[in-house]
Amino acid sequence: MNQPKENAGLSMKDYNHNNLCTWCDGCGNYGILTAIKRALIELELAPHQVLICFDVGCHGNMSDTLVGYRFHGLHGRVISLAAGAALANPDVPVIAFGGDGACFSEGVGHLVHAVRSNYNMTFILHNNANYGLTTGQASALTPHGEKMNTAPHGTVEELLNSMDFVFSLNPSFVARGTSGNIKQLTDIIKAGINHQGFSYIDVLQACPTYNKFATHEYLLGKCYEVETSDFETARKAAVDTSEKIATGVLYQDKTRSTFLDQLEARKGIDTRLVDEVRKVDVSALLAKFS
């Protein structure tokens, strides 16, 4: 990050918006919202110094309650639009929020290529194990057999093991937190923003209205914290959730180059793409199509 450290006096109110919050009582999104604000304050990043991107879903309504540069995109597309912004202006940290419904269905292709490209951005998965905004549809992360509104007799499809899937893509940063442990989640988000490369943060999010199987109490009781370890140990700890659920920064490779750092065509260039496009006059081209 090349941000000037000039914001030591930031507080929660700098990020608070007066808009009415539409989340259900007890929704884990409140905890995630608090953690992101705390992380930005502790990193001394003012709202105008960070880009926050949202997918469509319950979690996406955070765009109404958080002050800053925000972009609310189409369902499943948040990673791609955030990656574009990160490539266009690497001086601005980019954070993208997405739901498990969006990320592991419509958006799964974007996730694959963002991890393997190692774009320099942070992705925070609101993993409530269902499509919340469309009132409790089963997602790819809903356990097999769970009774959901779209599967009253039990979910037929097999559960997608998201951690095994992400580790199979050779990620440079993988973390897991819970919406109920705000202190830990704040530290995880800070580590993700500071990481050079694609930071994948899985947040196990309580959804008291539609997720009856992984409640706030269940998650807090099952989670334990691990220290960063080697790739295979981290993968094993992340994947096996049968007895306990490993949380914390599970894996980080600080030596990996980002996508932009590896591009020969950008080497030795000090300007940013976001400035360079302004120098090109496209009015004649646009006139051809008007």
Comparing CB distances to ligand TPP, the nearer of 56 and 87 is 56
Which residues of this chain interact with ligand TPP, rule CB under 6 A? 55-59, 75-76, 99-102, 106, 126, 128, 131-134, 139
Nearer to ligand TPP, 57 or 192 (CB): 57
Q: How far is the CB of 6 from ligand TPP (least distance, A)?
A: 34
How far apart are CB 209 and ligand TPP at their closest, in Å? 10
Residue 107 Cβ vs ligand TPP, minimum distance, rounded to whole Å: 8
Decide whether 57 or 197 has the Cβ nearer to ligand TPP. Answer: 57
Edge-to-edge order in the sheet of strand 223-225: 69-72, 51-54, 94-99, 121-127, 198-204, 173-178, 245-252, 223-225
Closest distance to ligand TPP from the beta carbon of 27 (Å): 9
CB of 182 to ligand TPP, least distance (A): 18
CA separation, residue 240 to residues 52, 163, 249 (Å): 31, 9, 16
Q: Is the dihedral of CA 159, 164, 170, 171 positive or negative?
A: positive
Closest CA to 33 of 211, 200, 179: 179
Contact 107, 141 (CB under 8 A): no
Closest chain position to ligand TPP (CB):
99
**Residue number with CB closer to ligand TPP (99 or 192):** 99
Select 128 or 199, whichever has its Cβ closest to ligand TPP. 128
Q: Could you give the CA distance from residue 122 to residue 105 in angstroms, rounded to a whole number?
A: 19
Q: What is the 3-state secondary structure (H, E, C) of 106-139?
A: CCHHHHHHHHHHCCCEEEEEEECCCECCCCCECC
- Alpha-carbon distance of 111 to 83, in angstroms, equals 10
Residue 176 or 235: the one with the smaller Cβ distance to ligand TPP is: 176
Taking the alpha carbons at both ends of the chain, their separation in whole angstroms is 41
Nearest approach in angstroms of CB 59 to ligand TPP is: 4
